[in-house]
Amino acid sequence: MGYLPQSVKVAVFLSDQDEELSRFQLFESLSGKLVFEGTPELADASIWGKQKAYRLNFTAFHEMGGFILKAGNSVSPSFRISPDVYNGTADFILNYMRQQRCGFNPYLNDSCHTHDGIIVDHPTKTGQHIDVIGGWHDASDYLQYTTTSANAIYQLLFAYQQNPSVYGDKFAANGKPGANGIPDILDEARWGLEWLLKMNPAKNEMYNQIADDRDHAGFRIPTLDTLGGYGLGVYRPVYFVTGKSQGLGKYKNRSTGVSSTAAKFSSSFALGASVFKHIDPTFAEQMLRKSRDAWDFAKSDLGNFQTACMVSPYFYEEDNWVDDMELAAATLIPTEKQIDFQKEAKYWGELEPVTPWMELNRARHYQYYPFVNLGHALLAQSSDPLIAKQFAALMKQGLDQIRKYAANDPFRIGVPFVWCSNNFVAAAITQAKLYRKITGDNTYEEMEAALTDWLFGCNPWGTSMICGLPAGGDYPEKPHSAITLYLNQTTTGGLVDGPVYTSIYKSLLGIHLLRADQYPEFQDGKAVYHDDIGDYSTNEPTMDGTASLSYLLSSLEVEGHTSGDVLDNQGALVRKNPAEKKVYLIFSAHELGEGGQLIAQTLKKYKAKGSFFLTGTFYNNPENKSLINELIADGHYLGAHSDGHLLYADWTKRDSTLVTQKQFSDDLKLNYKKMEAFGLTPEKASVFLPPYEWYNAESVDWSRQMGLKVINFTPGIRSNADYTTPDMTGYRSSETILNDIQTFEKNDPNGLNGCIMLIHMGTEPSRTDKFYNRLGELLSWLKKNGYSTDRF
């Protein structure tokens, strides 16, 4: 993804040779200019089966742009340093949450499991139908758990509550594209809350899961699930919360009470009440009533309640529950004056000072869940300074333990590599980030950065752990999912389980890789990872793990910067700060540029500024030299438009990239090489207009890695249609284009504020009605209506 300018920045060097490094260097990607040198820090390479390992710390370098690192004879991929490297990521992971929806699934545009379900293990209602349609599938199987769903809901709501400014509104409540006036993360959280209401239909009546391990019967698309194996026809079993050891077959879980489940209901409902208070007061009031009822139920039968199994001893082995009590009480503090919930939260929080996995560096499957106790973070912000100090210290205690286990690991990674290791990583980052925010203590900032970077590629395998992110990088392409197997698509936005100890992997049954290992040189360390459908231990995306990234990603966006800039769905800037009454005129040219001189004269006459994006072919043509120098002298922006005007993406299948990353970067470097003749360096020309104004997320990401900001025209203005010729179906005359601009200005709530308006410097001879001839008329109209023009 890259680095924020002021963040900790550490790369890791691994070698299977005994290689001595004394220096490392940082270079600009495009110019090759040396900008920083540093001294490597030796680390323990044997942990990952290598001879030498170094940490390369370049935190002191704050400049923005695209860079590469050189260490010995090794060269890193290009990466960028910019305030916006994480922009859009918090919304991006919601793609996976929508894909996991049960009931109506917007990704498949169809519905599944529409008969859920039949009650089981209830003293009087066993065999009765209950409507529990909705919620999310837990992972690549189609089980649904209150345990993980309630935690996911809380994580989504918490992230929005902490960082509301970063979340957009591009989807409706049903998950289909289309704004509805509600941030998309709240649409997703409400989808979960409404299902949670169904799973708690009456006071003291709660249900813990839909389906069981009989679901692990192979891959199938959820809408084609035949529901075989349950003996219930079209229905699935819905397990009642009994508070006792549960299991309908040979195998039973080790439940001792209802608190872990009931308290999760309570905390999610309480936070839902708080967040939706001013959005839907009636819904919020319902949430608050349900939260208090759930709290009473949690106290009525103290203990843990685990998920149920049937044909194998596979269940979520949650042993702790006082953390759930603490979080519920802490979330209820601002809602209730009759009960001293702060006292309750403090009592339960003191019973588990540190989340056990942090102290033990081990856990069975979901044994200590949730993996992070947000109740400690809430109490560390208490209005009582003694309580705040006490629980901040407990947060610190957990972080000290994680750092202890990281020891001299070159990646500073101190989590247990059991199943869902990435969830432990996300939990550790969340605690570190909240601790730093609450206390201002930066002691763990480097560890926080290392944990974050682990998820985005600074790991032995050099891969992101989030499907589809970043678009132009190395990320899981073959996750353990029916979506991938049958539809040949990655589970976009999903966080995969992550590496497991080599000893665990070798002991697992039924794992057969379906293709050659993508990372064979890096499987000799303490943990292994495979990007392969067949590896259910390391490469399965999970719903709750994905939701647990929400606070991290939204915080990273806030730590960078937020603005009103509008990006399209490929990541290009298409509108710059709609709050300002400015229009950005951009001009592009490749082989044709007959209107260039007239455009330059017109801009000078109206004292207007513009931005010119020219190909290497245009820059290299001697006939254009005087025009280019004139544009530079007049103070206009000049930038790149590719060297040979390549087509990056298929016209009909946009996600199909037509060039390799090497072809892309080599071509762009040639463009900048020809710009050097005019004194135009990458530092002066970091804004880039792709050729044909056509690109995809992958090529946008490649541009970013080289330190470039991709822009395009604002959709709907239609000035870009000035290239069309009379023989084309979509031909638009200059008069029509002017009318389109004026209509856009009239109908858009922000008028033309921040709009990017593209005009071609040259068109085919068959178009005699050249729009650049009307530029003066356009500038006069803009000025009359109060707009100024600006350059990039």
Reported as a pLDDT band with limits 50, 70 and 90, residue 338 is confident
pTM: 0.90
Partner residues linked to 129 by β-bridges: 118
Domain extent at residue 106: 89-560
- The CA–CA distances, whole Å, from 672 to 78, 613, 643, 669, 761 equal 16, 12, 8, 5, 20
- Flag whether pLDDT at 562 surpasses 70: no
- Read off the pLDDT of residues 594-613 as tens digits, 9 standing for 90 and up: 999 999 999 999 999 999 99
Whole-number Å distance between alpha carbons of 529 and 482? 19
Identify the domain boundary among 536, 560, 584.
560
Whether the upstream peptide bond of residue 470 has omega within 30° of 0, thus cis, is yes
Cβ atoms of 166 and 90 closer than 8 Å: yes
675 domain-assigned: yes
Cβ atoms of 774 and 601 closer than 8 Å: no
624 domain-assigned: yes
Do 176 and 294 belong to one domain?
yes
Do 466 and 593 belong to one domain?
no
Whole-number Å distance between alpha carbons of 696 and 139? 28
CATH number at residue 414: 1.50.10.10
- Flag whether pLDDT at 633 surpasses 90: yes
Whole-number Å distance between alpha carbons of 366 and 432? 21
- Read off the pLDDT of residues 353-373 as tens digits, 9 standing for 90 and up: 999 999 999 999 999 999 999
Cβ atoms of 416 and 527 closer than 8 Å: no
User: How much is the pLDDT for 715?
Assistant: 95
Average pLDDT in the chain = 96
Residue 437 exposed, middle or buried by CB count within 10 Å (0-12, 13-18, 19+): middle
Strands (E), 44-99: 52-57, 65-71, 74-75, 79-81
Whole-number Å distance between alpha carbons of 488 and 777? 51
- The CA–CA distances, whole Å, from 260 to 211, 319, 321 equal 20, 9, 5
Identify the domain boundary among 81, 113, 129.
81
Identify the domain boundary among 499, 531, 560.
560
Do 38 and 183 belong to one domain?
no
725 domain-assigned: yes
Provide the token pair at 90: 């918090």
CATH number at residue 776: 3.20.20.370
Do 626 and 705 belong to one domain?
yes
576 domain-assigned: yes
Other beta carbons less than 10 A from residue 311's beta carbon: 16
Distance in angstroms between the alpha carbons of the first and the last residue of the chain: 24
CATH number at residue 53: 2.60.40.10
Do 115 and 45 belong to one domain?
no
Whole-number Å distance between alpha carbons of 364 and 597? 72
339 domain-assigned: yes
User: How much is the pLDDT for 217?
Assistant: 83
Do 26 and 173 belong to one domain?
no
- Flag whether pLDDT at 561 surpasses 80: no
- Flag whether pLDDT at 298 surpasses 70: yes
Do 258 and 342 belong to one domain?
yes
Residue whose tokens read 């135009």: 680
| DSSP string computed for 726-739 | TTSTT---HHHHHH
Do 77 and 107 belong to one domain?
no
4 domain-assigned: no
Do 593 and 740 belong to one domain?
yes
Cβ atoms of 490 and 655 closer than 8 Å: no
- Flag whether pLDDT at 159 surpasses 70: yes
Alpha helices in 51-183 (DSSP H): 89-92, 94-99, 146-162
535 domain-assigned: yes
Do 643 and 522 belong to one domain?
no
- How many domains would you assign to the chain? 3
Whether the upstream peptide bond of residue 117 has omega within 30° of 0, thus cis, is yes
Reported as a pLDDT band with limits 50, 70 and 90, residue 563 is low
User: How much is the pLDDT for 198?
Assistant: 98
Do 119 and 164 belong to one domain?
yes
602 domain-assigned: yes
Whole-number Å distance between alpha carbons of 559 and 60? 17
Please, what's the largest Cα pairwise distance for the chain?
89
Whole-number Å distance between alpha carbons of 335 and 211? 35
- Read off the pLDDT of residues 442-467 as tens digits, 9 standing for 90 and up: 999 999 999 999 999 999 999 999 99
Do 549 and 675 belong to one domain?
no
Partner residues linked to 788 by β-bridges: 582
